[in-house]
Amino acid sequence: MPQAGRSVVFVDGVRTPFGKSGPKGLYADTRADDLVVKVIRELLRRNPNLPPEQIDEVAVAATTQIGDQGLTIGRTAGILAGLPVSVPGFSIDRMCAGAMTAATTVSAGIGVGAYDIAIAAGVEHMGRHPMGEGVDPNPRFVSEKLVDPEALLMGKTAENLHDKLPQLTKERADAYAVASQDKTAKAYADGKIQPDLVAVAVRGQDGAWGLATADEPPRPGTSVEGLGTLKTPFRPHGRVTAGNAAGLNDGATGAILAAEEVADELGLQKKMRLVSFAFAGVEPEIMGYGPVPATEKALAKAGLSIEDIGLFEINEAFAVQVLSMLDYYGIADDDPRVNPMGGAIAVGHPLASSGIRLMTYLARDFEDHPEVRYGLTSMCIGLGMGGTVIWENPHYTEGDNA
């Protein structure tokens, strides 16, 4: 693990604004690899002390690795972004946790001395590449009943989680979703989200060019009453709706990770320090419960308890998935430590890109809360997994209340 070797720091993270998928979305006429290129170039622009030739690796995640998300996108995006040809790259897939896995993979390499500095990124253009495009699941999954067929449909796994934990009602899920929208609107109003967005030139339906500068999915002013009228597409009289789940989205994220000693030598900023990370599996039919065992493993590896965690950035694939983790730890639905700037229900969840979006949010949270020493980023992962990364706040002031 990285903490047994060199200290690893999160230097910086950026993302494109997230768009709605489909022919009317922000990025309908934009290539997925071009979104990654934009992110890499922005990271270099924001960090002029980083010589591009000193980047040891580029790891780019995509869930659907075909078309403009294929061809070893970590290598091709690096070349397209203007990195020296000496900088290698690779692609990575862990469905929703692709960018998280890209970040932890290069961090582990840094920790053992294989790399000094690396870029981790993630992209998903769900408008061009719907989830599951081109896949051919082995028939044994169904014929030998290895998993329930519903395990391949994320919305149905969320309904199953409601079944498993009946205290997590639709009313609680809807209230949580409204809070996510409200917190996102406030974060935008306070200028908390915009600093980590890179503007992207986009072409509209009329052929005219414009600039994407803000997330497209948020719906400020959403009400519990309004969410109560939405259809439940995954089950008649169900509890999961388009209002209490993340939508289908397009977007890219990226981050620079480095050995702390190298960051100090180059004069790079240090926004977070990696403490531990863990991935864990659960029954695929209740995919959304994955963050619970992943968090337990990450806490154990760090020698910490949940009481040590002062800030939480949890991916909101579904409201019920976040609530299941909060319930397990006895944390209130509206605890201010949880997703203080809102989450994926409002801004969107372009699958493989979201892990680094969580990290950039936590880095901002840390700046606002020097009294907090530890925070975590966590998410559920398709096919029954969860991932959690624990971070230390470099702005922490000894003696403040953690």
Q: What's CA 15's distance to the chain center, in Å?
A: 11
DSSP SS3 for 184: helix
Label residue 399 by pLDDT band (50, 70, 90). low
Of the residues 96, 125, 129, 162, only one is catalytic, namely 96
- Which two structure tokens, joined as six digits, stand for 329? 């730890």
The reply to whether 241 falls in a domain is: no
Separation of alpha carbons 106 and 42, rounded Å: 20
Label residue 304 by pLDDT band (50, 70, 90). very high
Verify whether residue 237 is a known catalytic residue.
Answer: no
pLDDT of residue 4: 53
Burial of 164 per CB tally in 10 Å (0-12, 13-18, 19+): middle
Mean local confidence (pLDDT), 153-168: 95
Structural domain range at position 92: 2-129+247-390
Verify whether residue 96 is a known catalytic residue.
Answer: yes
- Which two structure tokens, joined as six digits, stand for 287? 């995919």
Task: Note the pLDDT tens digit of each residue in 324-363.
Answer: 999 999 999 999 999 999 999 999 999 999 999 999 999 9
The reply to whether 201 falls in a domain is: no
According to DSSP, residue 211 is labeled E
Label residue 145 by pLDDT band (50, 70, 90). confident
State the chain's maximal CA–CA distance in angstroms: 59
How far is residue 374 from each of residues 12, 38, 185, 302, measured CA to CA in Å? Answer: 18, 31, 26, 11
How far is residue 117 from each of residues 62, 156, 253, measured CA to CA in Å? Answer: 21, 40, 17
The reply to whether 152 falls in a domain is: no
pLDDT of residue 148: 85
The reply to whether 137 falls in a domain is: no
Amino acid making up residue 284 = P
The reply to whether 179 falls in a domain is: no
Task: Note the pLDDT tens digit of each residue in 241-273.
Answer: 999 999 999 999 999 999 999 999 999 999 999
CATH of the domain at 75: 3.40.47.10
Instruction: Judge whether residue 397 has pLDDT over 70.
Output: yes
Percent of the chain surpassing pLDDT 70:
98
Of the residues 129, 162, 349, 369, only one is catalytic, namely 349
pLDDT of residue 2: 40
Mean local confidence (pLDDT), 383-391: 97
Mean local confidence (pLDDT), 147-167: 91
DSSP SS3 for 388: strand
pLDDT of residue 141: 85
Instruction: Judge whether residue 400 has pLDDT over 60.
Output: no
Task: Note the pLDDT tens digit of each residue in 281-297.
Answer: 999 999 999 999 999 99
pLDDT of residue 5: 84
Write the DSSP assignment of 83-98 as a string of letters: --TTS-EEEE-BTBTH
Task: Note the pLDDT tens digit of each residue in 82-134.
Answer: 999 999 999 999 999 999 999 999 999 999 999 999 999 999 999 999 988 88
Instruction: Judge whether residue 1 has pLDDT over 70.
Output: no
The reply to whether 402 falls in a domain is: no
Mean local confidence (pLDDT), 128-143: 88
Cβ count within 10 A of residue 211: 10
Task: Note the pLDDT tens digit of each residue in 194-224.
Answer: 999 999 999 888 888 999 999 999 999 999 9
Q: In whole numbers, what is the pLDDT of the chain averaged over residues?
A: 95
The reply to whether 200 falls in a domain is: no
Q: What is the pTM of this model?
A: 0.96
Percent of the chain surpassing pLDDT 90:
90
- Which two structure tokens, joined as six digits, stand for 130? 């719907």
The reply to whether 26 falls in a domain is: yes
Verify whether residue 380 is a known catalytic residue.
Answer: yes
Q: What are the residues whose beta carbons fall under 8 Å from the beta carbon of 35, sequence distance 6 or more?
A: 16, 27, 123, 125, 200, 250, 251, 252
For the chain, the domain total comes to 1
Of the residues 125, 162, 369, 380, only one is catalytic, namely 380
- Token pair 């439940």 in the structure block, residue: 232
